[in-house]
Every structure is written in structure tokens, then in C-alpha cells.
Structure 1
Amino acid sequence: MIEVREHGEISRPAAAVWAVVADYGQDPRWRKGVETMAPRPGGIVRVGTTTAEVMRFAGRTYRNGGEVTGVEPGRSFDWRTTSGIDAEGGRSVVSLGKDRCRFAFHVRVAPRAASERLLEPVLGWLLRRAIRADIRRLADLLHHDARASRL
């Protein structure tokens, strides 16, 4: 089992961060390797929202179906895969003041193939590195969007 929990502080209001991370349609903008993410229905997640994701990771293409299993509006949601890789996780946003928040992303993946199980330590390291970079990419995207809206 691979489990990764990462978080980062973002200098934007929690509501602005939630508007992006709780809208799966925006994932390709900040999650490297996500080629397509098709949520149904679109917009902010709710319990029962489903996703069809195509992503590249560690040189392989993965096609994953997913479902949102729990939502605390404006704060957090949990998900699990329904096809593709065997995974579950969640995202959360906690306000740290008017213009600052903490975004957290966690995922648990259960490799199925024997070759993937043998490579768990390497895959875990790659996944942790990718999630850290995604959180930085999210912060940069939100800062860029904020600057563009002021122009």
C-alpha cells in the first residue's frame, strides 16, 4: 500500500482555493500528468459526483473512474476509484486567515501487479514528489488568476 499525505500553505482565501480544488474540471490546470478529467455533473463536487480521468504517471497511462464519497462543503471531500487503479483519498482546505489557507491532498494506492508491488518504495517517492509539485503548481495558478482578475 502506498499512502501519501501532503499539504501546503497558499496565500489566497480558502474560498478561492476551494473553488479550484473542488472542481475536478480544473484538475488538468494544476495536476501534472492529468490529460483529461471529466466530472459528472460538472462544477463543485457533491456526493455522487463521478469522474473519468486519463493520466500519465511514471511512464504509463492510466484510465480511472472515480466517485466522490463524502463532502464537507467549502472544506473537504473524499473520493475513491471505481475502475482503473485501486485508490482512495481526499482534499481539504483550511482557512488560516483572510488571505491564507492550507490545502491538503492525500491518497492511498494499492498496487495490483506484482511488478508494481515490488516498486512500491519508488512509486511512493515519485507520487509524493508529484503531489508536492502539484500543490506548488496550484498556488502559482491561483496567484496568476488573482493577478489577471485585477488587470
Structure 2
Amino acid sequence: MVTVVRRFTVSRPADAVLGYLADFGNTPEWDPGTVRCARLDDGPVRPGSRWLNTSRFRGRTTELTYRLDRLEPGRLVFVGENRTVTATDDIALFALDGRTEVVYEARLRFKGAARLVAPFMRAEFERLADGVEQRLPEVLGAR
């Protein structure tokens, strides 16, 4: 398994950050690896809502079906899966006088033969997490 964690502060209140991040369809705006992300169901965003996420990683395109696993004040958990990986994005939010501290943790559990190359991909996942840490505050600050 590969785990990356980033902690940063954004200049928006926690409820606004939660509302924005709960819609995983917004990921192309703040996740440098995401090419597109389309909702697969209708209605309000709620636990069980699903998205088809297309990402580019090391020059290759891959798709994962993500579901919102947990939606509660101060915490979001998304789980994405395809035949080679299960990805969990666990996002905790802490209110700070009109700003929000974000703790973003991404865990990738590889399946089958992909498990053998996981240790060699850590640097690439760290780079992607650096991009999230840079872009998300910019995107939220512009809203």
C-alpha cells in the first residue's frame, strides 16, 4: 500500500470547503492527475453517490469508479476502484476562524501483479499530492 498525506490551510470556511469537496465531480479543478470526473447517479450528493474518474498517471489513462463512503461534518471519505487498485481519499476538515485546515490522505492498495510495482511509484504519488496541496487552496480561494 502507498499512503500520502498533506496538511494545509485554505482561506474558506469549513462548511463551504465540505460542500465543494463532497462533489467529487470537482476533482478536475484541483487534482492534477484527474482528466475528467462524471457523476454516475442523480440527486443530492450523499453517501453512496458515485463518479467515474479518469486520471492520467505516468502517461497512461486509467478509470476508477469512486463512491462517497462517508459524509459527515468535518470528514469525507471516497473509495475508488478498478481491477488493479483501490484508492481511498480521506479528507478531514478543521475550522479555524473562517479558514479551514485540510488533512488530505490518499491510500492506494494495489491488486495482483500491480502490488509488485507499488513501492516504485511512491515518488509519483508524492508529486501528485504536492499538486493537490498547491492547487486546492488556489481553487478554493478563487471561489
Determine if the TM-score, normalized by the shorter chain, exceeds 0.5: yes
Q: Which residue of 2 aligns with 1:34?
A: 34
- Report 1:118-133 matches (<5 A): 118-133=116-131
Runs of 4+ in 1 over 3 A off after TM superposition: 40-45, 116-119
- Once the two structures are overlaid, the 10-residue window that deviates more, 55-64 or 14-23, is 14-23
In structure 1, what is the Cα distance between the partners aligned to 2:62 and 2:112?
A: 14
**Would the alpha carbon gap of residues 43 and 133 (structure 1) be closer, same or farther in structure 2, given more than 3 Å must change?**
farther
Aligned length: 142
Specify which structure has the higher proportion of strand.
2
Which 5+ residue runs of structure 2 have no aligned equivalent? none
In structure 2, what is the Cα distance between the partners aligned to 1:106 and 1:79?
A: 11
- Report 1:17-96 matches (<5 A): 17-41=17-41, 45-72=45-72, 74-84=73-83, 85-96=85-96
Q: Which residue of 2 aligns with 1:137?
A: 135
Q: Deviations over 1:69-116 (max 9, x none)?
A: 2221x421212224342222322221112x2111122122122353x4
**Would the alpha carbon gap of residues 136 and 111 (structure 1) be closer, same or farther in structure 2, given more than 3 Å must change?**
same
Which 5+ residue runs of structure 1 have no aligned equivalent? 146-151
**TM-score, normalised relative to structure 2:** 0.85
**TM-score, normalised relative to structure 1:** 0.81
In structure 1, what is the Cα distance between the partners aligned to 2:101 and 2:48?
A: 25
Contact residue 6 and residue 128 of structure 1 kept, 8 A: no
In structure 2, what is the Cα distance between the partners aligned to 1:42 and 1:35?
A: 21
For residue 93 of structure 1, give the secondary structure of its aligned residue in structure 2.
strand
For residue 86 of structure 1, give the secondary structure of its aligned residue in structure 2.
strand
How far off its partner does 1:43 sit? 7.7
Q: Which residue of 1 aligns with 2:4?
A: 4
Contact residue 45 and residue 71 of structure 1 kept, 8 A: no
How far off its partner does 1:138 sit? 1.0
**Would the alpha carbon gap of residues 144 and 81 (structure 1) be closer, same or farther in structure 2, given more than 3 Å must change?**
closer
